[in-house]
Chains A and B, each alone.
Chain A
Amino acid sequence: MAKLNMVKALNLALMQEMERDPDVLVIGEDVGVDGGVFRVTEDLHRTYGSKRVIDSPLAEAGIIGASIGMALYGLKPVCEIQFSGFAFQCFHQIENHAARYRNRSQGRFHVPMVIRMPYGGGVRALEHHSESEEQFYAHIPGLKMVIPSGPRNARALLAAAIRDPDPVVFFEHKALYHAHKEDVPDESETMEIGRARVVREGDDLTLVAWGGMLRVAREAAETLEQEDGVGSDVIDLLTVAPLDRETIVRSVNKTGRVVIVHEAPRSFGPGAEIAASIMDGAFLSLEAPIARVTAHDVPFPGFAREKANVPDVARVVAAARDTLAY
């Protein structure tokens, strides 16, 4: 057991998976000698060499496309796209091919690869370095979309993603990389992909969040408990797709009130899909309209204005109070 931040926890997962399975390779821009711009791949190159830890040319479609070829051959590439905002230069490879080879070949081939991408705001960065785009990937049949919320689940989910026979897009929130440390077991650990977790329990309200928004939801739940005496279920989604509707529906059937928090823009975002699931599974239990607290439907506004765009505790608390008062 060691106290690790998310960067070190992710690094531990990569180290251990590469040790466990010689078919696991790491590929991306600056992932080798430099250890990655966020240091997630630090020391991998020194330990496993240039053939397994590949400093690729600066070309996202080439990285993902070549990794698809490796995966078709039977290897398990773990690709890093330096920032999720640059993934549109390989989006066609992900949608047209990574997600579809199993189907196109009717099971003759599959694509066991992981596409890691730092995402999210709050780090005072330039355009294309702060966005949240999970909805694009969650919408694609054949892909899985995973977003950890802390060091321990990041490590366990990354190990699970690497062992998954299907392609997994794995988002890492930049503001969480160094945010806090957790006890992470030394021995290898995985978590089931497709399962949400209830990380705080209460009977009055359900808060659904993931990635960088989880701590916002947790703090909002704490405030509501302290100031209003309101008990909240806080659900950490962990996997956006396939969505664990059962956990959400069970909670809303208990509480009757729900606030969904995400950092992606609102319209057609994951919150809409979650709301539809609640309508399907918990319609008769609802005591108030489903609320969403999200980024606005604007291009990321530059970090001078990001605080007004990314949901914070005050906005979540306000939305919860409206919901509770309905």
Chain B
Amino acid sequence: MPRTVLEPRFQVEYLSVLDAEGSLDSALDPGLPPAELKRLYRAMLLGRRLDERMVRLQRQGRIGTFAPIKGQEASQLGSVAVLRPTDWMVPSFRETAAMIWRGWPIEKLLLFFAGHLEGGQPAPDQRDLPITIPVSTQLPHAVGLAYAAQYREDDVIVMAYFGDGATSEGDFHEALNFAGVWHVPVVFVCQNNQWAISVPLKKQTNSKTIAQKALAYGLPGIQVDGNDVLAVYAASREAVARARAGDGPTLIECVTYRLGVHTTADDPTKYRSAEEVAEWERRDPLTRFAAYLKRKRLLDEGLEAAVDEEIAAAVARFEATGVADPLVMFDHVYAELPPDLKAQREALAEGLRSGEPGRREKHEPSPPMRGQRSGKR
């Protein structure tokens, strides 16, 4: 009756391809063609410039609260770029850059953050779930999508996004456990940006890495430099290939940093130091990728102006959106409007027409007048 060490022992890899100065480890270079490198950089820059613009729009009261992505562009684009349009993308609420890569028009995202339901509607052929706000609750959906794809024998994989805080939630653990047991084609991408609002990672988990949490569920986990777009790309490509080949799920931990606020309602100076932020600014994903591209002579002049122009045009389209028709709130609650809801909709429509909202809804059949009854009492 011995007390022994169980095998196998586990290891977690860390991957970095470009260092903070933009120098490449050529042995780990994912070997992207120049056009793809340029496309990735443009998307990162667009994400950054849009983020800055959205903060201004929020401060001006033109959109509501939103969650900026500044600093996380490489984590989002290095991963989403390996998907096919036929694959599924499951976002949380801080994936603006990845969502634009997947085809969401900028003006639609602005509409979403301006409180319009229409902003959450994916295009008819788009395999993207809408933004999910309750932390980690979208992860089981990704597992179900992957199960369904496997059940139908479709050549489709699923990529799901979440943050470091989400790994404390039960749904994260249930999703990884189900994915492991079912061996489904899903890639979990954790953007570990170090802070869940004011709570730092060391108060979130006693694990040395988030990647190692995968091992408990019998799936591979890898930690990558999340500010290194080529490292994220390489790890994601490997995980997606594994999923596509029927070899099951993977957890990728992108070690990154939220350079901005949690949301526009947050003041991070209350809980973290300027020195810490400055340290991460030195590792900015755009700076290092730009340095690398410049050395390869792949950095286009005038890119910033072109990106700003694209954003300005989208903002103009967003601002041209008319007033939200209140009645739309009834349109997609059920496939068919139940009688109750129909009556509520009609009452509101009538109130809006007559300028007298709040009148009683009409109920059928109308009651008989007092005295018409048998008068048993």
Determine whether the beta carbon of B121 is less than 8 Å from that of A108.
yes
Q: Indicate if A243 sits at the interface (CB-CB under 8 A).
A: yes
Interface size on A, residues (CB 8 A): 60
Q: Does B341 reach chain A (CB closer than 8 Å)? A: yes
| Segment touching B, from A63-71, A118-126, A127-135, A177-185 | A63-71
Q: Does A73 contact B (CB under 8 A)?
A: yes
CB pair B134 A96 closer than 8 Å: yes
Task: Fill in one digit per residue for B358-372: 1 if any A CB lies within 8 Å of its CB, else 0.
Answer: 001101110111100
Q: List 22 A-B contacts (CB under 8 A).
A: A57-B174, A61-B137, A61-B140, A62-B143, A62-B177, A64-B140, A65-B171, A69-B142, A69-B144, A69-B147, A97-B141, A102-B334, A104-B120, A105-B129, A108-B126, A142-B333, A142-B334, A246-B339, A253-B367, A284-B368, A287-B373, A287-B376
Least CB distance, A255 to chain B, in whole angstroms: 10
Q: Which residue of A lies closest to B151 (CB)?
A: A51
Please name all residues of chain A whose beta carbon is closer than 8 Å to the beta carbon of B332 when the two chains form the complex: 102-103, 105-107
Does chain B have a CB within 8 A of A110?
yes
Bound CA–CA A15/B335 (angstroms)? 26
**Which of A32-40, A146-154, A275-283 lines the interface with chain B?**
A275-283
Q: Which residues of B contact A107 (CB under 8 A)?
A: 121, 331-332
How many angstroms between the C-alpha atoms of A281 and B339 in the bound complex? 14
Measured between beta carbons, the chain B residues less than 8 angstroms from A64 are: 140
Residue B203 CB within 8 A of the other chain: no
Q: A70 and B147: CB pair below 8 A? A: yes
Q: Is the CB of A249 within 8 A of B177?
A: no
Q: Which one of A62, A73, A141 lies within 8 Å of B140 (CB-CB)?
A: A62
Tell me, yes or no, whether B130 is within 8 Å of chain A by CB.
yes
Within residues 326 to 360 of chain B, which ones have a CB less than 8 A from any CB in chain A?
331-335, 338-341, 360
Contact at B174–A65, with CB atoms within 8 Å? yes
Taken together as a complex, chains A and B put the C-alpha atoms of A61 and B174 apart, in Å, by 7
- Is A56 among interface residues, defined by CB-CB distance under 8 A? yes
Question: Is B147 touching A242 in the complex (CB atoms < 8 A)?
Answer: no
Q: Tell whether A105 pairs with B122 under 8 Å between CB atoms, given A62-B140, A69-B141, A166-B334.
A: yes
Q: A75-B148, A102-B333, A103-B333 are in contact. Are A57 and B177 (CB under 8 A)?
A: yes
User: Within the assembled complex, what's the spacing in Å between the Cα atoms of A281 and B367?
Assistant: 6
The CA-CA distance from A57 to B177 in the complex, in Å, is 8
CB distance from B136 to the nearest CB of A (A): 10
Q: How far is the CB of B87 from the nearest CB of chain A, in Å?
A: 12
Q: Are A105 and B178 in contact (CB under 8 A)?
A: no
Interchain CA distance A280-B360 in the complex, whole Å: 9
The answer for the CA separation of A242 and B333 in the assembled complex, in Å, is 12
Nearest to B361 among chain A residues (CB) is A280
Binding site for B on A (CB under 8 A): 25, 51, 56-57, 59, 61-62, 64-75, 77, 89, 92-93, 96-97, 101-110, 141-142, 144, 164-166, 194, 204, 242-243, 245-246, 249-250, 253, 256, 280-285, 287-288, 326
How many whole Å from B124's CB to the nearest CB in chain A?
7
Are A253 and B368 in contact (CB-based, < 8 A)?
yes
A-B contact sample (6 more), CB < 8 A, given A68-B144, A93-B137, A97-B132: A56-B178, A66-B141, A106-B117, A107-B332, A108-B130, A242-B339
Across the interface, do A280 and B178 meet the contact criterion of CB distance under 8 Å? no
Query: Which 4 A-B residue pairings sit nearest by Cβ, starting from the closest?
Result: A69-B144, A65-B140, A73-B148, A242-B338
Minimal beta-carbon separation of A91 from chain B (angstroms):
11
Cβ–Cβ < 8 Å partners of A142 in chain B: 333-334
Docked-complex contact B145 and A73, CB < 8 angstroms: yes
A245 near B144 with CB under 8 A, answer: no
List of A residues within 8 angstroms of B137 by Cβ:
61, 65, 92-93, 96-97
- Quick check: is B118 within 8 A (CB to CB) of the other chain? yes
Given A65-B137, A107-B121, A107-B331, verify A249-B363 contact (CB < 8 Å): yes
Q: How far is the CB of B139 from chain A (nearest CB, A)?
A: 7
A245 touches B178 (CB 8 A): no
Whether the pair A242, B177 counts as a contact (CB closer than 8 A) is: no
Q: A71 with B144: in contact, given A59-B174, A142-B334 (CB under 8 Å)?
A: yes
A283 to B365, CA, bound (A): 12
Is residue B170 within 8 Å, beta carbon to beta carbon, of the partner chain?
Answer: yes
Residue of A nearest to B369 (CB): A284
State whether B171 touches A106 (Cβ < 8 A).
no
Partner of A246, one of B151, B364, B368: B364
Chain B residues positioned under 8 Å from A56 (CB to CB)? 178
Given contacts A106-B121, A246-B339, A285-B368, contact A69 B174 (CB under 8 A): no
A166's partner among B146, B335, B341, B376 (CB-CB below 8 A) is B335
Query: Is B377 part of the binding interface, using a Cβ–Cβ cutoff of 8 Å?
Result: yes
Tell me if B144 and A73 are in contact (CB < 8 A). yes
B175 interfacial by beta-carbon distance below 8 Å: yes
Residues of chain B within 8 A of A71, CB atoms compared: 144
Question: Which residue of A has the minimal Cβ distance to B154?
Answer: A73
For B134, the chain A residues whose CB sits under 8 A away are 92, 96
A280 to B340, CA, bound (A): 12
**Which of chain A's residues has its CB closest to B178's CB?**
A62
**Chain B 109-121 interface 0/1 with A at a Cβ cutoff of 8 Å (1 = within):** 0000000011011
Q: Does B373 lie within 8 Å of A285, measured CB to CB?
A: yes
